[in-house]
Structure 1
């Protein structure tokens, strides 16, 4: 989809604050409310905007440990990957899961847990019990340097 300058400004403002009213958004991007609303609806209908979310402070909720886990599978078959994917969807600790290449692992999984005991329970009673998992390598986040949720738009032609 081709985005013009106004579409990009709308997206940038919504990425900063998804709770903006249509009136507030229209003022920020220099449109009247009706055209602004139509543009947002078009961006939603075309799939560019897929939803709106509330961002939380995980530590204030007691989720103090982030683990990055590389997971290796025994076979690279569609049924193995499908089973792994569906199983992980049911684990609330999983924040992101990506099928990767260029590493010894097949998946990169980010989990958010309360502490090391919670992580151990997740690892031993959930992750390693999934059929086909042959290896895991865990790393723990000491400090997040950059933690963006916005999709960069700079690469799009202006």
Structure 2
């Protein structure tokens, strides 16, 4: 869906603060409240805006270990891919999962309390999925750049970057 400049500004502002009122949003983008609300509702209906969330600092909720796990399957057929994807979708520790090109079939971002919890996750969950043949893990020492705002339209979206 092509976005015009006003839609891009709406998205940039909502990515920075999804809790702002429609009045606040309309003031920030220079559009009256009624057309602003219509545009937001249309962006939601079109599936551009899929949900609103609260971003939580992991260490504040005792989740101090982030691991990136590369997974290789023994076969890459549709059945094995589907089995793997359904299984990892059910694991709350898996924050992101990407089907990849290159050495690994999947890349996961996993977040857990500590190394013991990560070992338990590997032993009791990830290695139990049929077709998993190889795992390679790297642990994050600290985030350098972590963004949630997509780079849409003008540079307004960059204001929400946190490091």
Smaller-chain TM-score range? over 0.9
Match of 1:111 in 2: 110
Superposed, 1:11-30 pairs within 5 Å as 11-30=11-30
- In the alignment, the residues of structure 1 paired with residue 153 and residue 115 of structure 2 have an alpha-carbon distance, to the nearest angstrom, of 39
Runs of at least 5 residues in structure 2 that lack an aligned partner in the other structure: 155-163
Q: Helix, strand or coil for the counterpart of 1:153?
A: coil
Deviations 1:65-101 (A, max 9, x none): 0000000000011110101000111110000000000
Report 1 or 2 for greater relative contact order, CA contacts < 8 Å, sequence distance ≥ 6: 2
Superposed, 1:1-158 pairs within 5 Å as 1-102=1-102, 104-154=103-153
- In the alignment, the residues of structure 2 paired with residue 44 and residue 37 of structure 1 have an alpha-carbon distance, to the nearest angstrom, of 11
- In the alignment, the residues of structure 2 paired with residue 117 and residue 154 of structure 1 have an alpha-carbon distance, to the nearest angstrom, of 43
RMSD: 1.0
Q: How many residues align?
A: 154
Q: Helix, strand or coil for the counterpart of 2:27?
A: helix
Runs of at least 5 residues in structure 1 that lack an aligned partner in the other structure: none
- In the alignment, the residues of structure 1 paired with residue 79 and residue 45 of structure 2 have an alpha-carbon distance, to the nearest angstrom, of 32
Q: Helix, strand or coil for the counterpart of 1:147?
A: coil
